[in-house]
Amino acid sequence: MANAIETLVLGGGCFWCLEGAFKVLPGVQGIVSGYAGGSAENPSYEEVCSGETGHAEVVRVDFDPTILAMGRLFDLFFVIHDPTTRDRQGADVGPQYRSIVLYADEGQKAAALEAMARARAGREAPIVTEILPLGDFWPAEAYHQDFFAKNPNYGYCRAVVAPKIKKALAFAATQSRPATEWGA
């Protein structure tokens, strides 16, 4: 019997960063960079960057919960980006770079809120991550898909994406318990 694949939609800065970081995790079955959380139908990158559509750059992460628990994904999400900065991650500024979780059901919402509570520990600044129901998800243009894998020597990838991937690998290495025992 095949395992049921689950899906999360998350935004925390440039989708190239999240895609690269989540892609290295065991249990991740697929990732699509895209746009969500806005009002326009099938927006383009240029429209999203204008700030007029309300969309965020997000990734849709398909994962096997028997290998990688949803709570682990949410915990990593709060580790690899700064959830305390509104509408920015580093030099990437604008509402399209906001920290956002778009949940498909109440279980995802509860898991996101639990992970956010864990992420608050030891932080002085408040977490500003939006947790909202998932509406439409629009895949980004083809050139945004697998961007780091195709462009590892691109300056942004070396300076911004690669350190997030290292952080993701370090985080994953600290998680030795089976998915069913941690962060479900």
The residues carrying an active-site annotation are: 14
115: phi > 0 → left, psi -120 to 50 → alpha, else beta; which? alpha
Distance (Å, rounded) from C-alpha 156 to C-alpha 113?
31
Query: In this structure, are residues 131 and 113 in contact, taking their beta carbons and an 8 Å threshold?
Result: yes
176: phi > 0 → left, psi -120 to 50 → alpha, else beta; which? alpha
DSSP 180: G
- Which H or E run contains 6? strand 6-12
- List Cα–Cα distances, 90 to 12, 47, 52, 124, 158, in angstroms: 11, 21, 21, 18, 14
- Identity of the residue numbered 115: A
- Both tokens of 84, joined, read 């305390």
Q: What are phi and psi of 55, to 5 degrees?
A: -75, 155
